[in-house]
Amino acid sequence: MLRRSFVIGITASNANSATLPLEPFEAVEPHLGTLIAITAYAPNVVIARAAFARAYARIAALNQILSDYLPTSELNQISTKPRVISVELATVLSTAQQIAKRSQGAFDVTAGALIRHWRQTKTLPPAHLPVGYQHLHIKGRLVWIDDAAIRLDVGGLGKGYIADEALKALGLPRALIAISGDIVCGAPPPGQTGWRVQAAGQVFTVQHAAVSTAGDAEQFTVIDGQRYSHILDPRTRRPLTTSRQVTVIAPSGLIADALDTAICVTGDQTITRHFRLTRAYIV
């Protein structure tokens, strides 16, 4: 679906479009279990349509690599036997391990079995389910796990990375990708200093940056009067009971997406000091 419009929930300052050679176009398609909106400035509809096709094709291809839902995905083929993986998957897993170490396990992609149990049953995960980033080993593009019962889930940073890659595939400099709570943008709209993004009760003006928000404002479960978040703490194997919303602004969606989850778990935004030009806001 292609139209001259703007991304819902994201606003840009008005400009006199009659004097500009570029026009704003928006496309929305269902991928990754959600609607993905792309806004881009292009000279005409033909160029815009071709750019959107490239971006959505890249999104679909990355889903085949990173999905924990698809049995045939590359992610789900990782086992105790070392195997060479794609550059894309290696990039995501290497970043995940870096943030796991920085957060002392508050962010951990080996928590897939816990996440799957909580997602499917909405009952507290049993203590025996395996988790621990120390059991995931990456050497370049060679990857393996120690325990065959471990399940990997990169949902905590995958959408941010996919948004990064979609923006690259789009090939239009003045553009923005919105995947649920993950927003990645390039150069600003013509005549503007940046894209104006609403998050964490504030309006941020950003360009060549990513904004990612995580929290349980809408996704939570109540069991025996106790409110549980959809986000789990891998260290305790339990969903969070402290409600908070975290927005992270970073140079890439990959980093922003992972850090908002880690900070949701810990409540500690000092982890951002390890990542250049990155800041966090907790509500």
What digits encode the pLDDT tens for the residues 228-256?
999 999 999 999 999 899 999 999 999 99
**Total domains present in the chain:** 1
Instruction: Give the three-state DSSP class for 5.
Output: coil
Altogether, the residues listed in the chain come to a count of 283
Q: Identify whether 164 is part of a domain.
A: yes
Nearest C-alpha neighbor of 134 from the set 105, 95, 94 = 105
Whether residue 65 is predicted with pLDDT greater than 50 in this model: the reply is yes
Average pLDDT score, the chain: 92
At residue 216 the predicted structure's pLDDT band, cuts being 50, 70 and 90, is: confident
Q: Identify whether 53 is part of a domain.
A: yes
Q: Identify whether 27 is part of a domain.
A: yes
Domain that holds residue 190: 2-67+159-195
Rounded to whole angstroms, the Cα distance separating 140 from 134 reads 16
Work out the percent of the chain whose per-residue pLDDT is above 90.
Answer: 84
Range of weakest confidence among 11-20, 48-57, 114-123 = 11-20
Task: Give residue for tokens 């590359």.
Answer: 74
Whether residue 3 is predicted with pLDDT greater than 90 in this model: the reply is no
Q: Identify whether 7 is part of a domain.
A: yes
Q: Identify whether 166 is part of a domain.
A: yes
Q: Identify whether 104 is part of a domain.
A: no
pTM above 0.85, yes or no: yes
Q: Identify whether 282 is part of a domain.
A: no
Q: Identify whether 129 is part of a domain.
A: no
More confident residue, 9 or 235: 235
Whether residue 37 is predicted with pLDDT greater than 90 in this model: the reply is yes
Rounded to whole angstroms, the Cα distance separating 4 from 11 reads 14
